[in-house]
Structure 1
């Protein structure tokens, strides 16, 4: 690990024989047991630094946890199994990861593109161009065959960008939304055969009784500035609506075979993600008209919601199909740590909240379990969390060396990442830019550019190719998975 873990002075060896409560803030645990040796910022003292990327006892989470649990007696570090529960130890591992990432980021120059500034990334040079401003919390972007862009605003408006201009009047007739906290008008998706059938799909948080809400999926058509012929494709039963303003999901994906996939977050009721009788905390699959495919994994099972495709998903805000393999990939928010990238298989359980690589937002432990039989491991997890949002595979031709790479947005970390995937594994990550706004959506556009919906400041922008600059400026940092 980062040096030999020496979490306390020798005086700390006088420990209680039984672990104390696991409802302690991990920062307080570190301050009371670890800071004397490793320093208040983990940069070292009597003991070595925990944030210098030098690991002697093993760099993986389990070996870090083992060093804390069993100690390194020859180096003067006692075993903490008597003072700390397994959940506390897991939280300390996450805390070390967080502080290590913070230290590395402080010493790294990330690209922060502004108008007309060329960024040299690892494989392509690009510029960031503003496409549309004057929006209020844009959430999703989709393109019509004629080049017009549809943009959802969380407050409930569906907007149109035409020839680089945001039309002043929103589309009328869109459904009433429950626009509070994370709820509102969410994803917009255009049917692959829109030129023939004209269908546009929307997901949104709909109000229920007693201040409750739940994610709903509808489709309709555009006619003379109105959303018409609206059909409800999925709506939960009234008793399944949940109060609270968090974790609605939601993304919409077509598979080209007559099916629609969409995601619903667990609405802040984490146990619901494991219940097949509830729709939240799941990825769903239906026919394009809302009917249920007979070969869905839980179709026909008594008590189960027949549209469920996968379960144990916390808050999936990223969903995309691989352009070559057709595999369904999903990104979901973890708690504090444990954001996940998953390859979604029918009927599989992705573990939340039984297993997770994260902890509670207040720094208290959640569980020490990161794996369990019958539950899927993420292809990749981000610990500390990046607040992962939308994902999309790049399918254009203007950035040929990014072909079929996965683009990943992040909210809290304000990043756009490029992931190279080989044989179902992430083999490389690159941060293309950072700290110029919360990345809410990322879309591979029909013109080969990459379109991004930003929050704070609210706008739509796009990445376009540019000639490399010499000497290289704004070179991005690669991030190992």
Structure 2
């Protein structure tokens, strides 16, 4: 039966391609007269329905976009398709202007009919638990990371450069005064916040942020690079700051993308942090550059003598691994003490990696993704001396925050990996044995862009969302 359906679909698509006329409407025309574009009727309606409410494919009017709801996400879905999910690519048939017309039509119909994304659920049904969902904090502006110092108390970063306070499970209006200046354009800003493993005795708090320096001649923006500092908070003020990592200033770039960055600690006393390639993909393979790397230092900023490139002239001594594109997820396994990361691929090819000392993770020489404009970055998927990902996502999910569940409220999920996704707006749970993903399930979908996830001191799972800017608390209701 499935073969018959696939055959009929293939014939429908083939006839649509053969019969397609030149598109004469523009996005502005559609916006003014609300006509259904010929291209939608001939290419899309057979799967998504003449009324956009779904047929053999999902509805386009339920506020839930399977592959991302932003304009660029919809455009790329039409142009490049999602073949593994039955969505053909139309980039060889439609010009970009024609695809724009379709996107304009879809978004106008959403607006005309008052379609909005579903509300944040109050309960989730997973394979193992019925989960209660509570809003811990709301009204945040692009929250990036949350950390708890004790049950119900902690801090959350906002990308624009604010460090907010959570006290007794309540987000306070106050911000911490005196934190470092950040450059918040593009993907930069105030990024991760973490606490020292010995926080109870030393009270050190760590920040990752895009650190700007003075503008150079001929440049419109201040160059920036990811930097790591630590300090104390007293009387709602940042004090006793120590700079743990600041890259050579000649490596700072005006580009607005790929800063990373996460901060984690292992049981041996090391601190790890990540920096994306900063839009210079070739730098990921260059150990004299800080970008495109996972770094390892001591919590006070000293360089471990066992780091792989400490004896190489001109190398950045803190480098632990290289060949990374934009790692925005970093976690340490509670039992094995292994370091894992997730990193954004380009169009396709997001990766989950087991990060090990001195190894090369391949970017941009090997990749399972293509460029955003459809051009091939590399036709090499494997190469000797370069590591394969444990898992890659195609299409991209925009993998972000990462944490191994370490609490007691969800015993069946102990040591399983929580993976946040920005584009797909979901939280995945991966069961990992050694270096293999045994199964994965989605436990939260379409509540917002999942920026960060962490296990709280109370054993609940806390999820940081963008659009809307909220923090969710997930706790089990009862076993299913």
Smaller-chain TM-score bracket: 0.7 to 0.9
Cα displacement (A) at 1:401: 0.7
**With structure 2 as the length reference, what TM-score do the two structures score?**
0.76
Q: 1:244 aligns with which of 246, 255, 265?
A: 255
Cα displacement (A) at 1:113: 7.4
Distance in 2, Cα, partners of 1:434 & 1:147: 25
The aligned counterpart of 1:465 is: 476
**Structure 1 position 139 matched with structure 2 position 123:** no
1:178-224 Cα shifts (integer Å, max 9, x gaps): 01010000000000101111100000001123321100000000111
Q: 2:296 aligns with which of 279, 285, 309?
A: 285
The aligned counterpart of 2:187 is: 182
Distance in 2, Cα, partners of 1:256 & 1:201: 17
Contact 1:328-1:344 at 8 Å conserved across structures: yes
| Structure of greater relative contact order (alpha carbons < 8 Å, 6+ residues apart) | 1
Q: Pairwise mapping of residues 85-234 of structure 1 onto structure 2 (< 5 A)?
A: 95=80, 98-101=82-85, 103=87, 114-115=120-121, 117-145=122-150, 147-208=152-213, 209-210=215-216, 211-234=222-245
Cα displacement (A) at 1:134: 2.2
SS of structure 1 residue aligned to 2:84: helix
1:228-286 Cα shifts (integer Å, max 9, x gaps): 00000000111010121000000000113221000000001100000000000000000
Q: 2:374 aligns with which of 355, 363, 371?
A: 363
Distance in 2, Cα, partners of 1:396 & 1:196: 22
**With structure 1 as the length reference, what TM-score do the two structures score?**
0.76
**Structure 1 position 401 matched with structure 2 position 412:** yes
Structure 1's unaligned 5+ residue stretches are 10-38, 45-51, 53-90, 105-110, 470-481
SS of structure 1 residue aligned to 2:174: coil
Contact 2:152-2:169 at 8 Å conserved across structures: no
The aligned counterpart of 2:319 is: 308
Distance in 1, Cα, partners of 2:169 & 2:269: 32
Contact 1:119-1:468 at 8 Å conserved across structures: no
Cα displacement (A) at 1:340: 0.2
The aligned counterpart of 2:309 is: 298
The aligned counterpart of 1:268 is: 279
Q: CA RMSD in A?
A: 2.9
Distance in 1, Cα, partners of 2:138 & 2:364: 39
SS of structure 1 residue aligned to 2:230: strand
The aligned counterpart of 1:108 is: none
Distance in 1, Cα, partners of 2:383 & 2:450: 33
1:62-113 Cα shifts (integer Å, max 9, x gaps): xxxxxxxxxxxxxxxxxxxxxxxxxxxxx9xx956x2333659xxxxxx977
The aligned counterpart of 2:355 is: 344
Task: Please list every run of at least 4 consecutive aligned residues from structure 1 whose deviation after the TM superposition is greater than 6 angstroms.
Answer: 6-9
Contact 1:113-1:433 at 8 Å conserved across structures: no
Structure 2's unaligned 5+ residue stretches are 15-41, 48-55, 57-75, 89-116, 217-221
